Homo-oligomer: A and B are copies of this chain.
Amino acid sequence: MRLIDKANTPLKRGRPGYDQESVLRIAVEAFNEHGYEATSMGKLADRLGISKSAIYHHVPSKEDLLRLALDEALIPLEAVIIEVRAHQGSADERLDFFLRATFRILISKRSYVTLLLRLRGNTELERAALERRRAMDRQLAELVTAAQSEGELRADLDPRATARLLFGLINSVVDWFREDGPIEAKTLEDQAITLLFDGLHSTGA
């Protein structure tokens, strides 16, 4: 076969044409439905309708699937921190930006974030991912402290507890938000931000 033919004629492989990305996506669905530990490579192969050795063609081990999946969530979330640091606004504006950017990643990377949020720290890899989450908690707590110093945030809230509670509310959307549900992502983002900054009692800006 000449190279020109190869480029113009996609090879037919006689089985579903999985690439690493789609193997990963389906693996994460299985991990989220049954738990990471309960999902063996054999069960995953059954789900994909391919052999175990065909999975190993895409990824060397189940732990590598977990590593790739966690990076799908962690890398964009960590990029937000870098963007926040480069942001020129007040701490209050940076806090707004941080929470909204995080919210959008949760929606776009929902299944990967769900996996991340359910980790228990049973292995070195899981503990490293949890440490990366804690670094985000610290970053958010620092932002709360800075906004309190600038006088824009109420001073009677503990920054570390507040950071955890803010993430708690924002993260919870991965459990129930559906693209085809009754509320749009942008509306939900605005409502979550309004609730957090202004509270249930505020009568509006």
Contact = CB atoms under 8 A, between A and B. Distances in A.
Interface of A: 32-38, 95, 117-118, 120, 122, 144, 147, 152-154, 156-158, 160-162, 164-165, 167-173, 175-176, 182-183, 187-188, 191-192, 194-204
Tallying the copies of this chain within the complex gives 2
A153 to B, nearest CB: 5
Contacts of A199: 195-199, 201-202
Contacts of A154: 194, 198, 200-204
B176 A164 contact: yes
Contacts of A172: 164-165, 167-169, 171-172
Contacts of A194: 154, 156-157
Given A154-B203, A165-B195, A34 B33 contact: no
Contacts of A35: 34-38
Contacts of A164: 172-173, 176
A169 to B, nearest CB: 4
Contact of A169 (B169, B183, B204): B169
A162 B34 contact: no
B34 A152 contact: no
Nearest to A196: B200
B198 A195 contact: no
Q: Which 9 pairs across A and B sit closest by C-beta, in order of nearness?
A: A168-B172, A35-B35, A199-B199, A37-B38, A169-B169, A38-B38, A198-B199, A168-B169, A153-B200
A107 to B, nearest CB: 13
